Amino acid sequence: MVAYWGEDVVRHTYPSKSLIDNGVVCAYGSDFVVNPACGLAGLQVAMTRRHIKMDLTYELYKDVPAAMPEECISLKEALQAHTINAAYQAHLENVTGSIEVGKSAELIVLDSDIETTPAEQIQDIQVLETVFKGKTVFKKGNQK
């Protein structure tokens, strides 16, 4: 980003950690088709502020340090931004966004422990199962 826009602009681009630390509810999602619609990659970018392998420009920028690394957020903050905070933004926090009795059961089962996976490798975690509204809608190995 610094190469394209300059340090002054980047300094004020996606100041996630500063916003969260000051009580702002940050909600994340994807600008699909501009960005990949892959939540795990989104978690990794939020935590590292670096390009991911599925990014078309990855090879050009894979060795470039994080832009404003002090704005990297924790796994917990990234998960909240992609789940309960995104539901809050859509006024659906009473329906979805967290696993609670009475809410729509929407979750994924992963092949690795995301809490012990290095941030730079989160994009490599595989989704084994996806549950939407309480029903399995994807199970690895059951594709047609």
pLDDT single digits (tens) 6-32: 777 877 778 899 999 999 999 998 766
pLDDT score of 34 more than 60: no
Residue 129 pLDDT class (50, 70, 90 cuts): very high
Q: What is the DSSP string of the chain?
A: -HHHH-HHHHTTS--HHHHHHTT--------TTSS---HHHHHHHHHH-S--TTSTTHHHHTTSPPSSGGG---HHHHHHHHTHHHHHHTT-TTTSSS--TTS---EEEESS-TTTS-GGGGGGPPEEEEEETTEEEEETT---
Domain boundaries along the sequence of the chain:
2-139
pLDDT single digits (tens) 55-114: 777 788 888 888 788 999 999 999 999 999 999 999 999 999 999 999 998 999 999 999
Global pTM value: 0.86
